[in-house]
Amino acid sequence: MIEVESVYYDYNGHRALIDVSVSFKTGNIYVLMGENGAGKSTLLKHLNGILKPKSGRVLVEGVDTREATVAELCRKVGLVFQNPELQFFCETVFKEVAFGPENLGLDSATVKSRVENALRVVGLTGFEERVPWSLSGGEMRRLALASILSMEPKYLALDEPTVGQDRFSKENLKALIWRFKGMGKCVIIATHDIEWVYDLKPDEIILMSHGRIVAQGPPWEILNDNELLKRCNLVKPILLTLCDSLKLPLKSSTPSVTELAQKIRKRIGEEFVLSRGF
Amino acid sequence: MSIVFKDASFRYANSKKWAVKSLSFRIEPGEKVLISGPSGSGKSTICRMINGLIPHFYEGEFKGVVEINGLDTRNVRVARLSRDVGLVFQNPENQLVALSVEREISFGLENLGIKREEILRRIDWVLRLFNIERLRKRLIHELSGGEKQLVILAAIVAMKPKILVLDEPTAELDPANSIRLVNMINELSFKLGLTVVIVEQRVDLIAPIVDRVLVLEEGEIIAYGRPWEVYSIDKVYNSGSAIPKLVELYYELQRVGVNIDRPALTVEEFLEVLRFK
């Protein structure tokens, strides 16, 4: 478990986190949402010790991040940044992904298999000898993810992972996150991509605003609270807006496209009439 | 200003594959066009071809013709083109040059040789337009990703380009700011007759406001037309290109036997098709 206890942090007096307390348990998927500048990225950077609280503390499996080095924490907590190209420094994709496991002192056979596995998982098999900076924006983000996955961290923190990703990559990412959950790992994602969060169905959504946590709960509860969403510069996912307009009962759920199509089909003729044209 | 591609292709140096192949299309002055397609399909390459970074800065093989306002980009300097074409890159970090927000916005204007009083007027105007007056004196490196994105956009719009090319403009914006931005693009295009080219993966907000959608796959155009036309094409749906949620619903409804003429792009449009009894 990662425990964040009453954390305060500021950038030269500009307050970024104020009295933030939250815990992240293994086997769960958490999504952090909130307005631009709400403190999401700052919170993620506290999880692997890149930033240390100015007051309060962060415990990673009982270890205070102020008493451990970033190198030690990185074995447990993998953080994939918002801007991946700032993270690359090796001349090939293979070397980039191998760097972490090599530094863990693993033998070359294990390193190779970890690299192959990580590249396969993110769909970059065949890119081994490419120069990282020659990749497209979306591919760079997936490379950044692979270079963290090869470390096999127990906690995975992702900052805006869907940016630049096409539909299939987003679906793959969703499947990957659920596989991590199935392996008993913990995934913490900061994102603005509310439509993707709707599809992801995380265990909990944590809403932040002006450096504070303002709400935490399951998706259907958070995503249906108009007042709360507005306060955090968020907008209801389009399918929930449609459900509202069609007065469809939700019963504490967030229906998928498939479920929604079924619900609509059942009601045609009874509640709705279908006019063909526009 | 119009944008015309005539059988245009580009291959980056050291790459065997053509990034874009034989592209022919036309964007009329004042039109808003969404460029869509899977990652690596050539979207950013098209942006660079519009503002002349290709072929002037990127090394590689260039074939065909790209014309901006009737001028062949090969014969026009990038400095000249950049006066008309404002490009906002995918990653804001790469584009920021100054220390503070105010300096960032004035940088481009100073380079255009604009007078001090006019520069100050334009700074006031764009800060208000983008609702970021509070950021005026802040240092760039302290801003969040989304705030940086707004600052760059403001800096570009301050230069009053005729063509605005945006590579994933809402990528790091929260949903409310994304809606504000989309409305602003719509308004700017309407008021100033701006031609707008947008590359975007989050298409739910953008698709309803654009005139046309251009879909790429492996560097080639697989569809170009009005949004509802393009999203009715099975090949587009199966391509991995971003698709609005309501279009997914349209296909899902078809699968369960509910046939609608064409996909709706907004909830309002959807309610025109499906009415209460």
Alpha helices in chain A (DSSP H): 40-47, 70-74, 93-103, 108-121, 137-149, 167-182, 194-200, 219-223, 226-231, 238-245, 257-267
Closest CA to A37 of A55, A19, A10: A10
> What is the domain-level CATH number for residue A203?
3.40.50.300
pLDDT score of B121? 96
Of B243, B244, B256, the CB nearest to A261: B256
Q: Does B1 have pLDDT greater than 70?
A: yes
Greater confidence (B130 vs A259) lies with A259
Of A234, A239, A265, the CB nearest to B245: A239
The one-letter amino acid at A33: M
Position A130 in a domain: no
pLDDT score of B184? 83
Nearest chain B alpha carbon to A42: B144
CB–CB contact B240 A166 (8 Å): yes
Q: Does A220 have pLDDT greater than 90?
A: yes
Same-domain check for residues A277 and A161:
no
Same-domain check for residues A276 and A246:
yes
Nearest chain B alpha carbon to A264: B253
Task: Find the mean pLDDT for residues A209-217.
Answer: 96
Number of domains in chain A: 2
Same-domain check for residues A252 and A160:
no
Confirm or reject contact between A6 and chain B (CB < 8 A): no
Position A56 in a domain: yes
pLDDT level of residue A26 (50, 70, 90 thresholds): very high
C-alpha distance from A160 to closest chain B C-alpha (Å) = 8
CB–CB contact B256 A265 (8 Å): yes
* Cβ atoms of A58 and A9 closer than 8 Å: no
CB–CB contact A235 B175 (8 Å): yes
Q: Does A204 have pLDDT greater than 70?
A: yes
Q: Does the ipTM exceed 0.85?
A: no
> CA A87 to CA A80: how far, in whole Å?
9
Same-domain check for residues A160 and A268:
no
Of B38, B147, B256, the CB nearest to A36: B147
Same-domain check for residues A229 and A268:
no
Task: Find the mean pLDDT for residues B46-54.
Answer: 94
Reported as a single tens digit per residue, the pLDDT across A106-158 is: 999 999 999 999 999 998 999 999 999 888 878 888 899 999 999 999 999 99
Interface test mutation site (partner B, options A257, A259, A260, max chain B beta carbons within 10 A): A257
CB–CB contact A192 B172 (8 Å): yes
Same-domain check for residues A15 and A54:
yes
Position A9 in a domain: yes
Of B93, B262, B275, the CB nearest to A278: B262
Position A225 in a domain: yes
Same-domain check for residues A25 and A56:
yes
Please tell me the number of Cα atoms within 13 Å of A175 on its side-chain side.
9
Greater confidence (A168 vs A278) lies with A168
Sheet holding B60-68, edge to edge: B20-27, B3-12, B60-68, B71-72
Position A258 in a domain: yes
Task: Find the mean pLDDT for residues B161-189.
Answer: 87
Same-domain check for residues A160 and A257:
no
Same-domain check for residues A49 and A161:
yes
How big is chain A, counted in residues? 278
Q: Which residues of A touch B204 (CB under 8 A)?
A: 195, 238
Residue in this structure with the two tokens 């045609």, named with its chain if needed = A268
Position A115 in a domain: no
Q: Could you tell me the two tokens for A166? A: 């096409």
pLDDT score of A276? 64
pLDDT score of A278? 60
Confirm or reject contact between A65 and chain B (CB < 8 A): no
Closest CA to A104 of A143, A148, A48: A148
Enclosing domain of residue A268: 237-278
CB–CB contact A36 B260 (8 Å): no
Same-domain check for residues A162 and A253:
no
Element (H, E) at A49: none
Q: Does A32 have pLDDT greater than 90?
A: yes
Q: Does B94 have pLDDT greater than 80?
A: no
C-alpha distance from A24 to closest chain B C-alpha (Å) = 23
Instruction: Say which range, A207-221, B165-179, B198-212, B228-242, has the weakest mean pLDDT.
Output: B165-179
Q: Which residues of B touch A165 (CB under 8 A)?
A: 39, 201
CB–CB contact B174 A167 (8 Å): no
Same-domain check for residues A222 and A246:
no
Position A147 in a domain: no
Q: Name every residue whose Cβ is closer than 8 Å to that of residue B195 and which is 6 or more positions away in sequence.
A: B1, B2, B3, B27, B28, B29, B30, B31, B32, B162, B163, B164, B189
Specify whether the backbone of B199 is left (phi greater than 0), alpha (psi in -120 to 50) or beta: beta
CB–CB contact B255 A167 (8 Å): no
Confirm or reject contact between A226 and chain B (CB < 8 A): no
CB–CB contact A83 B145 (8 Å): yes
C-alpha distance from B52 to closest chain A C-alpha (Å) = 19
| For chain B, counts of helices (H) and of strands (E) | 12, 11
> CA A50 to CA A60: how far, in whole Å?
13
pLDDT score of A185? 94
Closest CA to B152 of B239, B91, B219: B91
Position A151 in a domain: no
Q: Name every residue whose Cβ is closer than 8 Å to that of residue A148 and which is 6 or more positions away in sequence.
A: A78, A79, A80, A100, A156
Same-domain check for residues A256 and A222:
no
Reported as a single tens digit per residue, the pLDDT across A68-91 is: 998 889 899 999 987 777 778 899
Element (H, E) at B254: helix B245-255
C-alpha distance from B63 to closest chain A C-alpha (Å) = 21
pLDDT score of A277? 62
> CA A157 to CA A43: how far, in whole Å?
10
Q: Name every residue whose Cβ is closer than 8 Å to that of residue B174 and which is 6 or more positions away in sequence.
A: A33, A34, A35, A36, A38, A192, A232, A233, A234, B146
* Cβ atoms of B215 and B222 closer than 8 Å: yes
Q: Which residues of A touch B200 (CB under 8 A)?
A: none
Q: Does B197 have pLDDT greater than 80?
A: yes
> CA B4 to CA B8: how far, in whole Å?
10
Q: Which residues of A touch B201 (CB under 8 A)?
A: 138, 162-166, 170
Q: Could you tell me the two tokens for B84? A: 């008309």
pLDDT score of B103? 93
pLDDT score of B170? 84
Mean pLDDT of chain A: 92
pLDDT score of B63? 97
| Residue A181 DSSP label | H
Long-range Cβ pairs for the range A214-222 (8 Å, 24+) = A214/A34, A216/A22, A218/A252, A219/A254, A220/A250, A220/A252, A220/A253, A220/A254, A221/A252
